[in-house]
Amino acid sequence: MEFDPVQEIDIEKAHSIIREIVASGELIVSKHAKARMRERGYSTQDVEYILIRGKITNKEFKENTQSWAYTIKGDDLEGDEGGVVTVIISRQACVIITVLS
């Protein structure tokens, strides 16, 4: 089944796809997200942990990229609350847009 980032999907399906990507796909970290990760002391493992165990708290269609952005909030590896904003670009890849503290 082909993935269309413009097509709206329900939150549970989106989170299932994101979890599959973390497990066996490609996480692409934007320059902006890398800078925010350094500022906030996040490792790639923290981001993956939040993506897998957190909850989607918001989804928003981004006109500039013609795709849906998902905000996932949860605890990082140290137990501190954080968040990750990601866009699913295919069934095998998503882009980390930013991280939230």
Q: Which residue has the higher pLDDT, 70 or 5?
A: 70
pLDDT band for 1, please (50, 70, 90 cuts). low
Q: How far apart are CA 100 and CA 85, in angstroms?
A: 8
- pTM exceeds cut of 0.85: yes
Contact 26, 92 (CB under 8 A): yes
| Any domain includes 62 | yes
As given in the structure block, the two tokens for residue 78 are 């140290």
Residue 97 has a pLDDT of: 96
Residue 50 has a pLDDT of: 98
Residue range(s) defining the domain that contains residue 29: 11-100
| Any domain includes 29 | yes
| Any domain includes 31 | yes
Residue 65 has a pLDDT of: 86
pLDDT band for 3, please (50, 70, 90 cuts). confident
pLDDT tens per residue across span 21-79: 999 999 999 999 999 999 999 999 999 999 999 999 999 999 988 999 999 999 999 99
Number of structural domains (the chain) is: 1
* CATH classification of the domain holding 62: 3.30.2310.40
Length of the chain counted residue by residue = 101
The residue among 82, 66, 93 whose CA lies nearest residue 8 is 66
